[in-house]
Chain A
Amino acid sequence: MLEIKNLRARVGNKEILKGIDLVVKTGEVHAVMGPNGSGKSTLAGVLAGRAEYEVIEGSVTYDGHDLLALEPEERAREGIFLAFQYPVEIPGVNNAYFLKAALNAVRKHRGEPELDAMEFMALIRGKMKLLDMDQALMSRPINEGFSGGEKKRNEIFQMAVLEPTLAILDETDSGLDIDALKVVANGVNALRSPERSAIVVTHYQRLLNYIVPDYVHVLSEGRIVRSGGKELALELEDKGYGWIETALERA
């Protein structure tokens, strides 16, 4: 599904990704962990098409296409979804309007008929229940005045509606209390299927108790320095990131 080869990227003159290699197969969930500043969010941003990151070397192939050649909206329509670490507040655009426009853009691309207002409401009702979303949030401007938890739930709610094939969760757990974390994890798990993959970017192991990954990768200074199964996350929790760095220095 996704093949990242020797990916190097920078912001301005600062190189942040220094050669990432990662293969995500259909149906797999990969966790990307690492200390602050290791390049986790940059990796997520590059995959979603953030303009401020400049790719200087390497390739990303998604479903056989050159992902880096696509505009952000084309990536979204091809089934890539980025759950933002900091969801954006957009005054004046109501949530329901926005999501309907997004869903229909994706459906149109897939050759499916666009949904009218009734069909759309019927579709989102069930998803709102899944994410324990207050219906009133739908008629409010996107993320405006939402609490931190509401914003993160809104991200996963959008994901549930758009049904991506590759979900990228950028520190979706940060700032969530345990109840909100469970709700968010439920939403993600409900989407898990043999056809879908996910990259879960997180600083802490906690989220991975609820979204259990198939693989865990540790990012440090722009490179993947360790890869393993879910037990690697527990080991990190135990020993801290210092353990990885010390091990690297020794090597």
Chain B
Amino acid sequence: MATLTTSGGSVGSYLTAFDRLEGGRAHEPAWLRAIRRSAAGAFERLGIPTTRDEEWRFTNVAPIADNPFVSAPPVAVSEEAAARFVVPGIGGPVVAFVNGRYSRELSTLDTPLPGVTTTTLADALERDPARLEPHLGRHLNFTDRPFAALNTALFEDGALVVVADNTVVEQAIQLLFLSTVTPAPSVSHPRVLVLVGRNSQARVIETFAGIGPSRGFTNAVTEIVVGAGAVVDHYRLQRESESAFHIGHTQFQLGRSSTSSSHNVAFGGLIARHDAVAVLGDEGANCTLNGLYLADGVRLIDNHTEIDHAMPHGTSHEIYKGILDGRARGVFNGRIRVRPDAQKTDAKQTNKTLLLSDDAQVNTKPQLEIFANDVKCTHGATVGQLSEEALFYLRARGIGLDDARSLLVRAFATDVTGKIALEPVRTELDHLLAAKLPGTLAEMAFV
């Protein structure tokens, strides 16, 4: 394949990697090889975006383009080190990966849940590709999404979760993607597919975490297909190292009268971008996209969301909250599209950003594209600082300045943290947030 000349020339090196891998993919089904070729073509055409690209206007990924990331050599991670990133008190299976490679040692797949298949994607492709064919790479549109295209062209492994029809899964399934320090900064393209059958209920927690000051690049894609009448809770905890690069895409495909709720938390990464896309592809679907992010230092966190109301009687609720300190930057772009057929749509979007310093900044933009006439769509965005009056009130009762600030930041986050139905995740999230903040009250459970 031809080499493109864009910044850094890393597009060419990714395409070289694609060519090299393709030679060894004779065992892959033809449909997947065709999708991969198409994705590689899209990536070649799009290149790594620059800030001239409207979708990447405030997020300069030149450090990713300029960095010659390599494939990581095998790295051993101790159970103790990995355990810090497993949400405690859940009790479901854990599928763990280290720098993109499946880790049998860190995974607990020995007690299968009734009606649930949890496996690695590589394994599933080998054993039962027909099950994947209607879904893998079919739901997200990578033709204008360079990193999702890159993932589709290059992914080597990841996880598959299949929940049968009419199955209620009490435990949550945890997928853990760890990045470690490697001799040279490395890249991984983890890929996840979640298929939830009709009238079933499932909860999936995806954690992306850095062990040590990794400078690597994680480029993740997850597709979640929610069957008719099914209910899915998805939690995404991005806890990469503060020197790492993270790009992610989560795609929700909602069936008739189904419900999905996404809780997207981003605390890590030097440059981190996530796109959450929900397609309400049948009547009466309900979707929640909530997000919480925190950045300090010179870090940048970008959240793009897109809710596509394609059919009537759909509802969507969206709250994204950002906390920015130091010289950090935040980007929020929330697109809601209501197609001509999607009458009686009810969509609500809220975006709030808390700036803890004078030098932090945020670029926020709602984008409502409404083509139906009998709909209810609201959006609102605010940017503010901690209330001096509230700080004084807390201090006047004996609470120190650091604790008072932390309390108010945790309070700001409760619109998102407090809405998490799964108690262990709610508690864990409050702890993680408190640990990022100064003060002594971190141990006192807040939500």
Contact = CB atoms under 8 A, between A and B. Distances in A.
Chain B associates with chain A? yes
A97 B444 contact: yes
A73 B395 contact: yes
A93 interface: yes
B192 to A, nearest CB: 32
A158 interface: yes
A102 B398 contact: yes
Given A88-B389, A90-B408, A92-B410, A97 B395 contact: no
Contacts, number: 86
A115 B392 CA distance: 24
Contacts of B395: 49, 71-73, 76
Contacts of A84: 393, 396
Interface residues on A, range: 20 to 34
A142 B418 CA distance: 16
Interface in A88-102: 88, 90-93, 97-102
B414 A162 contact: no
B357 to A, nearest CB: 18
A109 interface: yes
A23 B441 CA distance: 37
B397 A92 contact: no
Interface residues on B, range: 20 to 34
Given A93-B411, A101-B407, A101-B444, A158 B397 contact: yes
Contacts of B12: none
A105 B392 CA distance: 15
Given A76-B396, A101-B407, A88 B390 contact: yes
A82 interface: yes
B242 interface: no
Contact of B399 (A48, A88, A101, A141): A101
Contacts of A141: 411
Interface in A43-93: 48-51, 71-73, 75-77, 81-82, 84, 87-88, 90-93
B21 interface: no
B69 interface: no
Given A92-B410, A93-B407, A97-B446, A106 B392 contact: no
B400 interface: yes
A141 to B, nearest CB: 8
20 contacts: A49-B395, A49-B396, A72-B392, A72-B396, A73-B395, A73-B396, A73-B397, A73-B398, A76-B397, A77-B398, A88-B392, A92-B412, A93-B410, A97-B444, A101-B399, A102-B397, A103-B398, A105-B397, A105-B403, A109-B398
4 A-B pairs closest in CB distance: A92-B411, A76-B398, A102-B397, A72-B395
Interface of A: 48-51, 71-73, 75-77, 81-82, 84, 87-88, 90-93, 97-103, 105-106, 109, 141-142, 158, 162
Interface of B: 387-390, 392-401, 403-404, 407-408, 410-415, 418, 441, 444, 446
Given A92-B418, A142-B393, 10 more contacts: A71-B401, A73-B396, A73-B398, A73-B404, A82-B396, A88-B387, A101-B407, A102-B398, A103-B398, A106-B398
